[in-house]
Amino acid sequence: MNEAFIGLGSNLNTPMEQLQQAITQLEQHAEITKVTLSEFYSSKPVGPQDQPDYVNAVAIITTSLAPIPLLDALQAIENSQHRVRERHWGPRTLDLDLLKYNNDKIDMDRLTVPHPFMLERGFVIKPMADLVPEMLLHNGCTVTEQLSSLDTSDLISL
């Protein structure tokens, strides 16, 4: 069995419902046996500011899926919820990012793991700190240490 971290984000079409629905789909997936959820947070957009605030969360899943089949499963969930992404770094209905897969390093066209931007994003590190504060990240810091280096003043626990 494998342990993967999934970042969830939405800022269109009732974001809370998008996340809830995505979590239900993860829980119902035949090859995902356990889903553990962080708190939900409202966050200011990273990137263009002329878009709604996001709702973000992180899930730890236990899965028999290898990384690429897991990525396919996440993209199938995004598509089933009619993912729209209007522009690069613009608003989206649902984002499911594969942040971490065991301690694997993956560098493929479709998939880079650990996620290249996760360390600098409060909307990822703060929910991770709810779940595994002592876990070591790929830069050698614990999640709590990483969190203390970030400005998370925009994050509101929902």
Catalytic positions are 83, 92, 95, 97
Binding test (CB under 6 A) with ligand ROI, winner from 4, 5, 6, 9: 9
Q: How far apart are the first and last CA of the chain?
A: 31
Options 15-23, 44-52, 64-72, 133-141: segment touching ligand ROI (CB under 6 A): 44-52
- The verdict on 89 binding ligand ROI (CB under 6 A) reads yes
| Spatial separation of the C-alpha atoms in residues 141 and 76, rounded to whole Å | 33
- Cα-Cα-Cα-Cα torsion 107, 110, 112, 116, nearest 10 degrees, comes to 130
Q: Does 18 bind ligand ROI (CB under 6 A)?
A: no
Of 9 and 67, nearer to ligand ROI (C-beta) is 9
Q: Does 54 bind ligand ROI (CB under 6 A)?
A: yes
Peptide bond into 114 cis (omega under 30): yes
Q: How many helices (H) and strands (E) in the chain? A: 4, 8
Tell me if 43 contacts ligand ROI by CB under 6 A: yes
Site residues (CB under 6 A) for ligand ROI? Answer: 9, 43-47, 54, 56, 89, 95, 123
